[in-house]
Structure 1
Amino acid sequence: MSTTLDTYRLLGRSGLRVSPLSLGTMTFGDDWGWGADKDEARRILDAYTERGGNFVDTANMYTNGTSEQLLGELTQGRRDELVLATKYTMLSRPGDPNSGGNHRKSMVRSVERSLRNLQTDYIDLLYLHAWDFTTPVEEIMRAMDDLVRQGKVLYVGISDAPAWQVARMQTIADLRGWSPLVALQIEYSLAERTVERDLIPMARELGLGVLPWSPLASGVLTGKYTEADLDHDGGTAGAAGTRKNVAASNNSLTPRTLQIADVVKKVAERNNYTSAQVALAWTLLNPGVTSTIVGARTQQQLEQNLSALDVELSDQDVAELESASAVELGFPHDFLNLPMTRAVTQGGLQIESRRH
């Protein structure tokens, strides 16, 4: 379904209007060896906003903080026109146990630093970046609510966390009248569909807009890698180095994902699209997805990716893509969908649900 950047969507259960493709700025800054310098970052941001894009995503330690700093400079004079999202959790001072994590001290200090870097007095959307398995959920939700009440943060969301913890947090927020989570940022692509088991259905049920990150599987779905690139020794556990290193360390570069990339290429060539455009367009077919995050190192890459909004995929195209990338939903989902299970719970009844 063709659309445009200025055909805005509501973010989760909020009234906030955002573009269907959001601009990821992990590529702003060359601290990690593969990003865009200030001038190219400006061209990328200008190209995005000139087409009506308004949703920009960063994090406290992307390119060691340079991403936020560049955005602070580049958004002057148009700050209020943009929805700026950032995240906290990443360790900012190695060796300091409280300079990272999900707890209140980490959150508050990270937000104060982000406000300075972004040269603004409020953050539109603050995410918890990654689950730390140690901080009580009540501490997180109360601290987020305090920041909203102070006006330093307008909306809150969560990224990279177990579905049952997110559901628990949302329930507590609702019961206590705290600010609810309105956004869920997760890895989602033709190469990573396991989130269709619980995370995406949970988000739809509880009012969180889904924002896929790495929709191109660290570049693998663009077709840039071949079997020769599988000899990568697993990559290193870090973002610095090369994009190939990131793909390897993310476990995105595997024999299976290369096979999926081949099918993406086949569908793209048949329809005169690029592989990237097809892979991005596919994510937007999921009704739970509000806005897919696209990153780019050059203005040309960005403009090619934004053209995914013009992609029209046939039923045959979608069937081929989903057959090649299918994952088992596992228990209890597969069990509950068995004919025997449905027969003993519903008999021959036809029940239409309008909830999703």
Structure 2
Amino acid sequence: MTHTVVTAARTVLFATLSLTFAAQVSASDTYPSRPIRVVVPVAAGGWGDASTRIVAQRMAEELGQPVVVENRTGAGGLLGIRHTKAEAPDGYTLMSTGGTIAIQQALSNDPGYDTLKDFTAVGSMVRSPAIVVTSAASPYKTMPELIAAARANPQKISYGSAGVGTTTHIAAEMLLRKAGVKMMHVPYKGNGAAMPDVIAGRVSFMIDAYGSSASNIGGGRLRALGVTSDTPMNALPNVPVVASEGVPGFKYYYWLGLFAPAGVPPDVVAKLSGALKKALSDPKIEARLQSDGTENAFMAPAEFSTFLRKEVAETASLINDLGLPKE
């Protein structure tokens, strides 16, 4: 090959690399240039959906593009999770979910994804303690009364959940295990389907997020027996923590994080994480979330990734200990 040909080849290669780099820089500089979609793998109206919408609206202001929430439900959250995994890693499809992503991976014979390999951790968002709720007409006025009845009648007192393997199911099983009692599990297709039977007293109790039970508690249809946080909630100052009501050491928090398909460019992840942090730091957003019993729990990508590794391992161990069958 002659010197002239070599020089020409180098020139073409340099020009190609320069154009590629320029395109990448341009894409990075202009991101986002169109609306961003956030998949929520649960039905509209629940705590996870409502919290995501509040944060997404504020993120849109930071990013200068609409951030549209899309509910994609089914199979206990698996449909939405798998859908997000298969989307292009360009930062235009995200997902908001919490413990469900670790639970379904541990419960399914073939979940269709690996949390740590198939997703990019953008950042954690919020957390909220759970509430142990029963019908306002229930004979159980306190947690100790409910636990005593369960101890005297193993597997005869029932509790409802949003479905096998959901966070409401796992939280209740953790509570019963800690209390040393057994109850009959009645799974429903979502919290919304379970709530009428809790209110009517057809099941004795359910564990739910404050945001989705608050209206029924305030309206006198539900009685809150305890909260699963370390300290009482500001929104329910007269409701004791479960740990002080016969289940010492027990605590449980629902959490939400923002995910993207694996392979999203680091600068795009940084831009999204920065917008998320600013949204959660907005005093108006914090006040709005706190009114629903929710608190800012932001973690940057690296810290959130560490949290996820621990969550996936501990959830798999817990489900194995509980003896829940894989499906």
Q: Indicate the structure (1 or 2) with the bigger Cα radius of gyration.
A: 2
Same-fold status (TM-score > 0.5) = no
More helix by share: 2
* TM-score normalised according to structure 2 size: 0.29
More strand by share: 2
Q: Whose relative contact order is higher, 1 or 2, with alpha carbons under 8 Å and at least 6 apart? A: 2
